Chains A and B, each alone.
Chain A
């Protein structure tokens, strides 16, 4: 971690606790003044003075730490509209007593918002939150509110003195994750508005504890008032002293704080030292038990389930908190809360059986939050693209699909592997969670180059690619023969055809169970506006299948002119067959014929 501050100056630094603040703002009455800037120090409430020094960076040798100067209460936030005019009420006593919100805000009309009030305080120690300062002194100054989520449910935002080493990075991630942020304008000592949050937890688990915190500008120069120190509630770290390093904006015209937030803050700009600092302890962890009078709480429940989404377990030994990483409060198979990493993509090598990946699948709302399924359960079918296999669970003997029924918010564990097809370069595959025939959650899977394995060569194959005169009017023809090892049954199995070049996929199509019309179990066919397909069982000799595919409205513009090699793969049930073909083109490169 960062170097500890070793320069601790008190009287020698000549800190002047002036009775006349440099800025005539009542909020700063009695606050210590920085002799270099003649401005009040920005000190978090209840925390000691930690000043970055001449280099402007926290955690370096020139930092000033003065544990005799403790920040007072300058602003407080209340949720639920509890502040009237005279007395600042206490915050919620815990998440269970906090206003309930549905995750999602305005997105898709799935969520809700909570009202907030940011109140300027005189910092008096009695009452604990001070007395409201309702004068015009900070009129038009903008306030920025943040919502943080107690992802691990330990009752704090950020690392505490009692955090175990394996938990510290998780708790740092809480501090680096805004689940909502919004601006508001102070008028007569109060800024009001509403805030939505993007994260929630299943209501059956008690929802997700949220802390609403924030800061405000106090400068003298409109419109941004950035020429003064910020004031803030408790925060899980120190933010840069310069307002422009926290939030940007334009400095012309009348201000409208309720707009797009030009957030400049990043993970590298905040100061979140390791807990138990020998000079100043652990001042930044924000509790969710109502004991911090400067912040308030919300309880965020996930919205209604729309389908399923994907995550992976976290290795706490190697996890490192980073700005933008998304962790989700999921529910494990035993009904306990389990923090997982949200994943949109994974990678697999094209090496056949082995080197699998395990993913967790859970009922999710529109924003991907784990949520409770509807009464009656949530029925999902996982469907894998042709280059991917679902190894486990396997209740139906079909590696390309797997039905899952969610009777609770608990996730299911799924093991994925490549389908054993050879890959040159990379192949883009996917796993989708299908609900009532409609894709919901999607996991992108990149298959990296490899020889594959586990697939048998087609007994024969030819292909033709013809470029038409109009885009989307090209023609693809494929003829293949593959052996029937006795396991093939087109009536009860999914089938997939993949045609690809070194540059990527030319065509890939899956045919679900029952999508092929059967004629006495000897000939199977499929037809739609673009595609004609016939699959014929051999009448005599070694058992084989012959497949003929025609697609007359395909877009081949991405296929290199005069392509030299083509790969054709057919998967049906557990059987996987592939063959590489050499292609020759006509003089105009409008027609390519490919054969072994």
Chain B
């Protein structure tokens, strides 16, 4: 296996998570943390954010693809070994799902209308050089 001239594994962590809602009912979830922003600026590999509530999930890849679906696999959390399967699940997310902010240490996404109010979880993921990675999972309360 070729060894990276630099770091060999993505560094994923969530240090804070926030939710917001517009008066029309659209909700956004934002995280602060690390997710190899500078590397993903230069070349692509599957990486992004997943918001999940029970078995329902929406995955925001940082290449712009947003996928939504349901799977019992996510109901008890997402392990790094489950990332390859996760990448093949779901279909185009319902409106108004979008990625609204991307900064070196922050991602904000807008949820599809299909999510209920209440508890949900957020996790970062990446698949790189044959390996799969997830961050710590953080709970949020959706309005």
Contacts and interface: CB of A to CB of B under 8 A. Distances in A.
B72 interface: no
A109 B99 CA distance: 12
Contacts of A181: 38, 42
Interface stretch (B19-27, B77-85, B86-94): B19-27
B41 A259 contact: no
A442 B38 contact: no
Contacts of B36: 260
Given A555-B118, A555-B141, A250 B41 contact: no
B101 A442 contact: yes
B8 A401 contact: no
B38 A107 contact: no
B8 A438 contact: no
A430 B18 contact: yes
Nearest to A257: B5
A261 interface: yes
Among A194, A259, A432, A555, the most chain B Cβ lie within 10 Å of the Cβ of A259
A439 B110 contact: yes
Interface string A437-462: 11111101000000000000000000
B7 A261 contact: yes
Interface in A82-115: 104-111, 113
A105 B23 contact: no
Contact of A438 (B18, B32, B98, B141): B98
A250 B1 CA distance: 12
Contacts of B110: 438-439
B106 A494 contact: no
Contacts of B8: 250, 259-260
Given A248-B6, A432-B20, A557-B119, A106 B38 contact: no
Contacts of B27: 439
Interface string A497-520: 000000000001111110100000
Contact of B2 (A255, A326, A444, A509): A255
A558 B141 contact: yes
Interface string B100-125: 11111010101000001111000000
A180 B41 contact: yes
Contacts, number: 201
Contacts of A437: 22, 24, 26, 96
B104 A444 contact: no
A182 interface: yes
Interface string A133-150: 000000000100000000
A420 B34 CA distance: 35
A223 B102 CA distance: 34
B41 A248 contact: no
A321 B31 CA distance: 25
Nearest to B36: A260
Interface string A318-357: 0000001010000000000000001010000000000000
B100 A106 contact: no
Contacts of A442: 18, 20, 28, 30, 100-101, 108
B6 A249 contact: yes
Contacts of A262: 4, 6-7
Given A385-B20, A430-B18, A430-B20, A258 B43 contact: yes
B43 A261 contact: no
A367 B102 contact: yes
Nearest to A473: B118
A286 interface: no
B62 interface: yes
A437 B27 CA distance: 10
Given A366-B102, A438-B26, A529-B116, A180 B42 contact: yes
Contact of B119 (A183, A383, A472): A472
Given A432-B20, A439-B20, A512-B24, A554 B103 contact: no
A511 B39 contact: no
A554 B141 CA distance: 9
B18 A444 contact: yes
A494 B31 CA distance: 28
Nearest to B141: A555
Contacts of B96: 437-438
A250 B3 contact: yes
Contacts of A196: 41-42
A309 interface: yes
Given A196-B42, A252-B3, A255-B2, 16 more contacts: A105-B40, A106-B62, A106-B63, A247-B6, A257-B6, A260-B10, A260-B128, A262-B6, A366-B101, A367-B103, A368-B101, A368-B103, A383-B23, A439-B26, A509-B21, A513-B23
Interface of A: 104-111, 113, 142, 178, 180-183, 185, 194-198, 223-224, 247-250, 252-263, 306-307, 309, 324, 326, 342, 344, 366-368, 383, 385, 401, 428, 430, 432, 434, 437-442, 444, 471-472, 494, 508-513, 515, 529-530, 553-555, 557-558
Give the 7 A-B residue pairs with the shortest CB-CB distance, closest first.
A512-B23, A262-B7, A472-B118, A437-B24, A262-B6, A253-B3, A259-B4
